[in-house]
Structure formats: C-alpha cells, structure tokens
Structure 1
Amino acid sequence: MTVQAKFKRVPDFHIRATLFEVTYEAQGLIVKGYLCIPQGTGPFPVLIYCRGGIKSVGMTRLAWVSKFVDQGCAVFAPFYRGNRGGQGREDFAGEDRFDVIDALPWIKDHPLLEADRIHLFGFSRGSLMALFTAMADPTICSVVVWGGVSDLALTYEERVDLRRMLKRVLGGTPLRKPEEYRIRSPIYDVQRLKCPVLIIHGTEDIQVGVEHSYILAEALRETNKCYTLRIYENQGHFFQPDVYKKAIDDMFTWMQKQEGRKHG
C-alpha cells in the first residue's frame, strides 16, 4: 500500500476473520481503530462502523463487529482521537469527524478492501460521524444511522445528564454557541449527500429520542434525497436480541441493493 497505516494483529477474535488494531493519521494526529477482515482472498466490501458515546462510554462493540463481519464484509471501526493511545481529544463531530474521513485513503488503498463498495454505519452519536463522512466523499455507497443523533441542540434539551459534557466540549449551551451545535447537526447540511440513507430507530429509545430520526427523514425528503425510514415499535436504544438480528439482516440486504446507486 502507498497510503501509510500500521496494522497489529489482535489474536483470538473470530474463527472466520482476522482482527487488526490500525494506527493511522487524521489531521496530523495519531488515531487508532479496529479493522476486521473475513477469511478468504477478497477483496471485500467495507462497512465503516462509527461508534456512539464519547471517550470510554460507548466504545466500539466487538460483538457488533463480529455480527457485521459474519455478513461477509470487512469492518473498520475507529476509536476516535484521544482514545486507546490516540492523540488529541474528541469534540463530538467537530474536527474529530476527520478521524473517519481521513481513514478513507488507506481503506481504498488496501488490497483486500473494495474501494468502490464502502458503506457507513453510525450508531447513536456515531450517526453524526457517518453522515458527515458520506457528505465528504461522494463515492460512499450508502449510510445507515441507527438510534442516531441528527440535531445536537435537541440532544442538549432531551439529555440533561449530557449537558455538562456538551457545554464543556462545545463551549456553551445552544443559546450561547448556536453555530457550534449547528455545524455538528447533519440535518442542516443533507443537501451534500450523494448516497441513499437508511434510518433505524426504536420508539422507546430514551437515550436518543425517535424524534431525531423523524426530523432527519424530513430534511432528506425536503432535499429530494433517497432514504428509507424503519421505526421499530417497543424497542429502545439497544434492540431485543431477536429484533436486533432481523434488523441487521434487513440492513445488509438494503445495503447490498444500494451499491452502484448515487442520488444527487
């Protein structure tokens, strides 16, 4: 490969896949993440899994990586800057969105990864990272947001427990720093999207209210973007196991149908 990234194998992860810890640069900072590649000759389609939370809260779920790689794709899951030996500090989809965007060159250069079959998956606050990455790269095939944040000012209103963190990271409240909240809210910039969007949300989600998905869908509709909205009754931020399995299977079926489709 010509694009620099370092790969360290993580032993004993999955019988049908190989897991690596990847070290790469984003905006000149050292950032880390996982790359999981199925057994076989490849090249494989890629799912970029943008985790939720911040710092150690909501860190990459290896159980999800395992589920995704079982679908026959390679999975890249960035930790985001400042985590697990990485440099810098997360700022909730401000500059740290480049921890995903700046990984795309080495992903596309990797001989076992298909450069023209890259999908994005964002869970919770990771939906911000996934959507902004899709906006930045028109070659992305599709983006899935699951229980995703779409308006950070709404998050401030509905999550009293997160207000202190948001004020610290963004420099104040939505009233004092409206632009900081706006630039991290993809509903204001969806006209830049070129790929289809799948929106998944549970009606009983108390961590990210389902209203986030409704307003994202409305923003996509108003800008004539291609999207699919799937609302799951009686499901919270994390779905019940049987519903989760079916939703994952349906998600990958949807993703495969989007390959090669672009919508301006």
Structure 2
Amino acid sequence: MSCVKRSKNESFHEAISYQNLLNNTDFFNNDFVDFYKIKYLVDTLNIEGFIVKPNQNKTEKLPAIIFCRGGNQSFGMLNGYQLRMMGNLSAEGYVVLGSQLRGNMASEGVDEFGGKDLNDILKLIEIAKELDFVDEKNIHILGYSRGGMNTYQISKLTDNINSIAVVGAPTNKFESIKFRESMYHQVYKPLFGDTITNKEAYFKRSAVYWHKEINEPILILHGTDDNRVAVEEAKQLIDSLKISGKTDFSYKLFEGGNHTLSNFADERDSLIINWFKTHSK
C-alpha cells in the first residue's frame, strides 16, 4: 500500500496543531532525514514534540520508534544533541517520534515524572499508528534514563508496541533514593510526593515490582560507571526477569559505560537497531 504524499507544510495528523520543518540549520543538517517540530494536544495541554523521518521517496510504510527523553521538567529536554541521535536512528529506516512531555518551558502542564505525563507518550503512539507513512504493526519504544522508566510504565498501558529498549533506566525508586538522595528532595518529593504518604507512587515507577506485566521483548543496556542511575537497578530487574522465566529479553552491562553510554555510542546504537529489526513483523 502506497503512502499518501503531503506537502512539507501540511500537518501529518489532525492531532498536530503546529508543524515546522527544521532542516538546513546547524543542528538539523542530516542529508537523509527530515526533522519536524510539532505541537500536539493531550488532556487539553499543548505538548511539544518532534517527528524525524527518512526523506527518500519511498512508498512503503516504515517502522517507528518512540523516543522517550530523560530528565525532568526543563532539565533533559530534547535538544540538538538528542535530536541528532533521533536522526541517526531515522537514517536506519525508522520514523522517530519524541515528546518534550508536559511541564517545561516548551510544553504546558505539570511534570509528574511518570504520572499523567505518560499520556503524552501514549498520544504519540496513537499518532504514529495513524500516520500514513508508518507501519502500525511495527512500533518500538526506546527510553533513556527517566525515559526508560516511562518505557516500562508504557508497556503496561498499551499493546500497540513490538519491543522496548532502555539505556540507563531506573527500575527501583527506593534504590534510586539511596544512590542519589538529592533526587528525592529535588525531584521525587516535589513531583509525586514523599515515600510515606505516597509510597504507592514509588511502586508505580519501579518496574522491578511488576516486571511480570511487561509483555514485550526487552533490551536492557546499562553502564557500570553510570553516576545517575546505579547499575544495581538494572541488575535487580535482570535477575527478576530470569527468575520469572522471561526468555524474550537481552541485556548488556558496559564495563566503564557512562549514563547514556555515549562512550559506547556505536555499539549501543547497533544493539538497539538490531533489537528492533529482530522484533519487527
């Protein structure tokens, strides 16, 4: 089935209220892909996002990757560096969609760090499924850091994804507090409450406690020198998956790898692309 051709100024989807081609700037100069900034509506909020797609004139529908950002609020927002990462993934033949999420200088609302902001990701999946150049049967999710936590959470909420991959993802918020106590006071407590009266909120953000509900194939990548999320969190989830008998998962712990594995970028990206290709229909 061939795709419907649209002009580069025409919106890809009715839920997208604003769309702007960003090519031919210092940050967006990949000859093989087109970068679009978008605004889309979620829960009456205007959310900023991006769509990156190969620019070759092909008619077949392409697989998609939902790229889940790290950080919180305005820290860790998708920037030129991360968009270049998305561009590299798109150059491999994928449509890549990413959200700034709610509650920062680009999007309305309040960041709940794994609360209602999950709706911003779910809406991107919905949009991806309905884009006329995306193969709705081949949608994957890639999450870095907080985005990895969100990726695990999203896997519980939808059956519209083929596989997931995470890099430097937290899996146990109680362990996160021990490793970086400052995160509790500066991020967790202000955004979703304390561990006493809001204990359940910490469980909801900790995949190790509900790993059996993750049905998709999982690729876990983590660096042993990660100074933001302890590698022990990845190990806890890996051990739990093994004990529960899950077979469709793989992992690699990079000796000396940093938080985003930028010091192993080529191998990281190769593993991710191969994982998604292996689990495409």
TM-score normalised to structure 1 length: 0.91
Letter paired with 1:23: K
1:16 aligns with 2:32: yes
2:53 matched to which residue of 1? 37
Structure 1: gaps spanning 5 or more residues? none
What percent of counterpart residues are identical?
Answer: 23
Letter paired with 1:22: I
Q: What is the RMSD of the two structures over their aligned residues, measured on CA atoms?
A: 1.8
2:73 matched to which residue of 1? 55
How many residues were matched structurally?
Answer: 258
1:235 aligns with 2:235: no
Q: Once the 2 structures are TM-superposed, how far is the Cα of residue 240 of structure 1 from its aligned partner?
A: 4.9
1:248 aligns with 2:264: no
2:190 matched to which residue of 1? 168
1:26 corresponds to which of 24, 33, 42: 42
The Cα offsets for residues 67-120 of structure 1, whole Å up to 9 and x where unpaired, read as 212222111111001234322111111111111012222111101111111110
1:69 aligns with 2:85: no
Distance in 1 (alpha carbons) for counterparts of 2:166 and 2:149:
9
Q: Is the 8 A contact 2:162 2:279 kept in 1?
A: yes
What's the secondary structure of 2:126's corresponding residue? helix
Structure 2: gaps spanning 5 or more residues? 1-11
1:99 aligns with 2:120: yes
Distance in 2 (alpha carbons) for counterparts of 1:21 and 1:240:
25
Structure 1 moving runs of 4+ over 4 Å:
none
Distance in 1 (alpha carbons) for counterparts of 2:225 and 2:104:
30
Q: Is the 8 A contact 2:221 2:254 kept in 1?
A: yes
1:240/1:4 CA distance change after superposition, 3 Å:
closer
Moved more, 192-201 or 40-49: 40-49
Distance in 1 (alpha carbons) for counterparts of 2:229 and 2:115:
19
Letter paired with 2:37: E
Q: Superposed, which structure 2 residues align to 1:109-188 within 5 Å?
A: 109-164=130-185, 165-172=187-194, 174-188=195-209
Moved more, 194-203 or 250-259: 250-259
